[in-house]
Structure 1
Amino acid sequence: MKRSVVVSLAISFVFTAFDTFAENCVFSCPIGLNGQTITRSIYTLHNNPQTKFANWVAYHVTPETIDGPTRSRNWKADPELDDDSTLEPNDYKGAWRGIGTDRGHQVPLASFSNSPDWRELNYLSNITPQDSDLNQGPWVKLENAVRSLVRTGQDVYVVSGPLYEWFFAALPDADEVHNIPSGYFKVIVTEINGLVEASAFIMQQNASRKDDYCTTQVTIDEVEARTGLDIMPILPEDTEAFVESTLGNLAFKLGCS
């Protein structure tokens, strides 16, 4: 793996162009794919009615949102989506036995266990069938690393979503056409007084439980090329060219050398 390159850049940027999703997104929410945007207090989600899963989710983890009590998983269809745009709990029956997948949170429950709105994370619009080894291995380890960084007093913005690059599987009991992701991306960003740091990761559904998430680091440019998204659309062009084209030193703060 290449050694992380410092991607810190002080910028004098006035946050007047933020849209209504600024609470959950830094430098505005991603653009570039069709779907329905749903904004909630703890996340913003962009649902794809064809795949039945979110094109992306964006959330803002703070010291106040984490380290609450253990929360239950009571799965529900998203009440803001039409029935033909999302899956229902019964669609996941037999998923673990049939294809070895968990109900994987895209916005992690543990990152908002101290929020009064944590139940909204169990809507199936925030869930995908995620291979158990990935979900319980490098994916959750990266989510844990984000929370460890937040415990130092640092706010962290995250954009996460699916990739569709090869066929992985289909839910054996689903009665709706759907498209399970072949992998996932996660872009992690901090911004303090104009100092921007960012790192991106891509993990595949066939990952091993023992895989090191640090070896999956990529540039944000690669994430955008493989997803068709503009992750931070109002990031100034001169800053964007540097931050998104190099491996970020935020990975060092996430436990990577």
Structure 2
Amino acid sequence: MKRLVAVSLAVSFAFSAFSAAAENCVFSCPIGLNGQTITRSIYTLNNNPQTKFANWVAYHVTPETIDGPSRSRNWKADPELSEESTLEPNDYKGAWRSIGTDRGHQVPLASFSNSPDWRELNYLSNITPQDSDLNQGPWVKLENAVRSFVRTGQDVYVVSGPLYEWFFASLPDADEIHNIPSGYFKVIVTEINGLIEASAFIMQQSAARSDNYCTTQVTIDEVEARTGLNIMPVLSGETEVHVESTIGGLALQLGCS
């Protein structure tokens, strides 16, 4: 009887994790890079034990998840990852002073400030050292634009992640080998009555705070070519060709002409 109960609980947990992943990802979660996938109620991520950062994060922003109270930033190592696979809070000491980086959320805290599970966004698996000018400039402006669009009543799916195309810096006090991204991508997708629209952006760590995020638009095809990911693996046929080869499908909705 105990074995049957244990099996039933395991099946129930697996089903719940699958359901949550399906809710966080649009047209299935990205594939193409090795790592440990972790699914939580408000995001799914794939952690890379070599770089110590997520290969990608996927999340679903709705009118119900945003516009909560201001939330604190209490950094913690991810409890589901081994010590060898992620960084700890002390690894970030001196980062801003030495290399000019913030602790940048890949899944933004403000997009889930109204969620009871918002604290899980402060796990360091969801954080990378992001240049302050990028983090507080075009990157956050794009995230704000996403939330402004969601306030119109439309929910969106987002996939974000890093690029490693040139050496940026190393954390001065980290005691583990790691690889800081040289840039980041963000893919934003909506589906309304079967109509799929998407926009993709790539921003570099060398971005200026005054940069316009609209000028960083690329195709999803380019994101996939530069990352090795298949962003929406179950999207296929003519729909895939159109959506992933088009620049600016959601340009107007995100404040770009």
TM tier relative to shorter chain: over 0.9
1:19 Cα deviation from its structure 2 partner = 6.9
CA RMSD of superposed structures (Å): 0.9
Q: Which residue of 1 is the match for residue 227 of structure 2?
A: 227
Partner of 2:116: 116
- Render the CA deviation track for 1:52-92: whole Å, top value 9, x for unaligned: 00000000000000000000000000000000000000000
How far has the Cα of 1:20 moved from its partner?
Answer: 5.7
Contact between 1:31 and 1:230, CA under 8 Å: does it hold in 2? yes
Q: Structure 1 CA distance, aligned partners of 2:142 and 2:248?
A: 15
- Greater per-residue helix proportion: 2
Residue 193 of structure 1 corresponds to 193
Alignment correspondent of 2:26: 26
> Which amino acid letter does the alignment assign opposite residue 243 of structure 2?
V
Within-5 A mapping of 1:1-257: 21-257=21-257
CA distance in 2, matches of 1:98, 1:193: 49
Q: Deviations over 1:131-184 (max 9, x none)?
A: 000000000000000000000000000000000000000000000000000000
CA deviation vs aligned residue, 1:202-223 (integer Å, no higher than 9, x gap)? 0000000000000000000000
Runs of 4+ in 1 over 2 A off after TM superposition: none
Judge conservation of contact 1:75–1:123 (CA < 8 Å) in 2. yes
Shift of residue 248, structure 1, vs aligned partner: 2.8
Identity among equivalent positions (%) equals 88
SS at match of 2:23: coil
In 2, Cα distance between the equivalents of 1:160 and 1:210?
21
**Structure with the greater relative contact order (CA < 8 A, sep ≥ 6): 1 or 2?**
1
The CA deviation string for residues 96-128 of structure 1, in whole angstroms up to 9 with x for no partner, is: 000000000000000000000000000000000
Matched letter for residue 98 of structure 2:
G
Do 1:19 and 1:28's aligned partners in 2 also have CA atoms closer than 8 Å? Answer: no
Q: Secondary structure at the match of 1:153?
A: coil
> Which secondary structure state, in structure 2, belongs to the residue aligned with residue 175 of structure 1?
coil
Change in Cα spacing, 1:91 to 1:41, as seen in structure 2 (3 Å) is same
- Matched AA of 2:165: E
Give the aligned residue type for 2:99: I
Q: Distance in 2 between matches of 1:19 and 1:42?
A: 12
Q: What are structure 1's unaligned runs of at least 5 residues?
A: 1-17
Contact 1:138–1:211 (CA<8 Å) still a contact in 2? yes
Q: How does the TM-score come out when normalised to structure 1? A: 0.92
Greater Rg by CA: 2
**CA distance in 2: counterparts of 1:32 and 1:91, whole angstroms:** 28
TM-score (normalised: structure 2): 0.92
| Cα distance, 1:236 vs structure 2 | 2.4
CA distance in 2, matches of 1:46, 1:237: 26
CA contact (8 A) 2:20 2:40 kept: no
Structure 1 counterpart of 2:167, which letter?
F
C-alpha distance in 1 between matches for 2:61 and 2:177? 33
